[in-house]
Structure 1
Amino acid sequence: MATIRIPTTMRGFTSNQAEVKASGATVREVLKDLDTRYPGIGARLLDERGAVRRYVNVFLNDEDIRALGELDTPVRDADRLTLIPAMAGG
C-alpha cells in the first residue's frame, strides 16, 4: 500500500491523521481507494470529470504527477503520495 501525506486542511476526512495508506496500481486507483476509506476526500481532490482539481497538486515521491503520467502514473507499495492544495492570496 502506498503512503499518502494528507494536508492539514483535509485531515478532517482522515480523523486528523497526517499519513494514511491506500492501495492501487496507479495514482487514480490509489485516490479512489483513499476516497473509499475516507469518504468525501475524493471530491476535494478530483473534479466532476475525474481529473485532479487545478488547485490541488499531487506528488509521487517528490515528482509532480503532471510531469509524469498524471492519474495513470504507476504506483508501487513503497511509494509516497503527497497532496498539496494550492495557496492563494493577495
Structure 2
Amino acid sequence: MPTVFIPAQLRGLTSGQAQVEVAATTVAEAIAQLDEQFPGIRARLCQGENLIPGLQVSVDDRFTRQGLSARLQAASEVHFLPVIGGG
C-alpha cells in the first residue's frame, strides 16, 4: 500500500504518526482515506478540488503537476511539501 508521510505541522491530527499507509490509487483517494481516519486533515491539505496554494505533492521522489489526480502504485511514497520560491 502507498505510504503518506505526514508533515510535522499536521501530526497533531494523526496523534503524532509520521506516516500512514493507505489503499489508494490517486493522491485524492489517499487524502480522502486520511480524512476518514483523521478528520480535518483534508481541510489542511486542500482547497476545493486542489491542493492549498503554496503546497506541492511529491510521489516517489518526483514532484508532480498532476496534483490530486497523480497516480499511486502499491509501493508509492507521498510527501506534501511547501513550495519554495527564489531566484
TM-score tier (shorter): 0.7 to 0.9
Question: Is the 8 Å Cα contact of residues 3 and 20 (structure 2) preserved in structure 1?
Answer: yes
What CA distance in whole angstroms lies between the structure 1 residues aligned with 2:5 and 2:31? 12
Q: Give the equivalent residue in structure 2 for 1:43.
A: 43
Question: Is the 8 Å Cα contact of residues 65 and 71 (structure 1) preserved in structure 2?
Answer: no
Q: Give the equivalent residue in structure 2 for 1:9.
A: 9
Q: CA deviation at 1:37?
A: 1.2
Moved over 2 A (4+): none
Q: Deviations over 1:59-85 (max 9, x none)?
A: 10111121xx32211111200001123
The number of equivalent residue pairs is 85
Question: Is the 8 Å Cα contact of residues 59 and 82 (structure 1) preserved in structure 2?
Answer: yes
Q: Deviations over 1:18-72 (max 9, x none)?
A: 111122111111111111111111000000x221001222110111121xx3221
What CA distance in whole angstroms lies between the structure 1 residues aligned with 2:11 and 2:82? 12
Q: Give the equivalent residue in structure 2 for 1:79.
A: 76
Q: CA RMSD in A?
A: 1.7
Q: Which runs of 5+ in 2 are unaligned?
A: none
Q: Give the equivalent residue in structure 1 for 2:25.
A: 25
**Which secondary structure state, in structure 2, belongs to the residue aligned with residue 54 of structure 1?**
coil
TM-score, L = length of structure 2: 0.86
Deviates more, 1:5-14 or 1:17-26: 17-26
